[in-house]
Amino acid sequence: MSSPGGTPRGPNSPAVAPSTAKWTGDNPENRKYQTDNVDVNRTGDEARDNCIALLYNGLAYRSTEPPAAVLVKAVAVEHAAFAAYNGATPQYKTKLRSLFQNLKNKTNPALGRRVLSGEITPEKFVVMDSDELKSAQLKKLEQDLAKENMKKAQVPMAEKSISDALQCGRCKQKKVSYSQAQTRSADEPMTTFCECTVCGNRWKVRLLWHRITGPDVALTHPSSPEPPPPPPFPPHLRALPPGLSVFG
């Protein structure tokens, strides 16, 4: 097909429709260079022409632009990739396949329109990364999901945990829920607010987080600077669980 010098078009290729000729199919999702009767042999190099065909099919998908306009853009994008990736290299082929996949992506109809309209130039298009190629809609969705996941990850911190290392002084059950709040400076033990899930008894201890499952737990002094949560520090805490000790 191609002449030794690599003519822009194969000698037997049909004339390209003038750019004013409208596309006259009925379903733009079925558009291909074959159904548009477009000759994609533009470079004299089969591999490159295959890439032009691929780009044509990607750009024509969902578009009602005239075939000649789509072809001009497909050729321009191929040339830009050929220049950017130093010829028909593996990177050039990988990139063009990736661009085709993005153009065919059902959630990203704006991409092809932006390339065809010139909003994204061929030179820019061939160096866009996967994040830049995504639709604004998809980016928004991803941001929302990331926010949601961050919120979910924070829930265990705020949630009350139940520990069987803590024993209720009133009913002696070991079903105590606790929540912790960092008070004063970060290197001080955290204040832990305890509540018996059996009898509702509440009290407050200060302990190191890593000791929560161990016996080395110390109660706060009743007159510590932080006000205890309601109800006030109960007197029956003198009946201490094993391993607990009172300050003062």
Binding of residue 75 to Zn ion (CB under 5 A): no
Q: Does the protein bind Zn ion through residue 170 (CB under 5 A)?
A: yes
Amino acid, single-letter form, for residue 103: L
Interacting stretch for Zn ion, rule CB under 5 A, among 142-150, 165-173, 213-221, 235-243? 165-173
199 is an interface residue for Zn ion by CB under 5 A: yes
Name the segment binding Zn ion (CB under 5 A); options: 117-125, 128-136, 166-174, 206-214: 166-174
Q: Could you say whether residue 162 binds Zn ion (CB under 5 A)? A: no
- Minimal distance, residue 176 CB to Zn ion, in Å: 8
d(CA 107, CA 104): 9
171 binds Zn ion (CB under 5 A): yes
Interaction mask 200-239, Zn ion, x per CB under 5 A:
-x--------------------------------------
In angstroms, what is the minimal distance from the CB of 177 to Zn ion? 11
Residue 133's CB: how many other CB atoms inside 10 A?
18
Shortest separation between residue 230's beta carbon and Zn ion, angstroms: 17
The CA distance from 54 to 44, in Å, is 16
**Contact of 240 with 219, CB cutoff 8 Å:** yes
Give yes or no for residue 240 binding Zn ion (CB under 5 A).
Answer: no
- 198 binding Zn ion? (CB under 5 A): yes
**Token digits of residue 148:** 């949601």
What torsion, rounded to 10 degrees, do the Cα atoms 224, 225, 231, 235 define?
20
Task: Please state the length of the chain.
Answer: 248
Task: Considering the complex, state which of residue 147 and residue 172 has its C-beta at the smaller distance from Zn ion.
Answer: 172
- For residues 203 and 194, is the Cβ–Cβ distance under 8 A? yes
- Write the single-letter amino acid at 92: Y
Q: Edge-to-edge, what's the strand order for the sheet holding 176-181? A: 161-163, 176-181, 190-196, 202-207, 217-219, 244-245
Q: Is 168 in the site for Zn ion (CB under 5 A)?
A: yes
Q: Which of 40, 190, 194, 196 binds Zn ion (CB under 5 A)?
A: 196
Count how many Cα atoms sit within 13 Å of the Cα of residue 95 in the half-sphere of its side chain: 25
**Binding of Zn ion by 79 (CB under 5 A):** no
d(CA 77, CA 83): 10
Min dist. Cβ of residue 170 to Zn ion (A): 5
Of the two residues 59 and 196, which places its CB atom closer to Zn ion in the complex? 196
Query: Which residues in this chain contact Zn ion in the complex, by CB under 5 A?
Result: 168, 170-171, 196, 198-199, 201
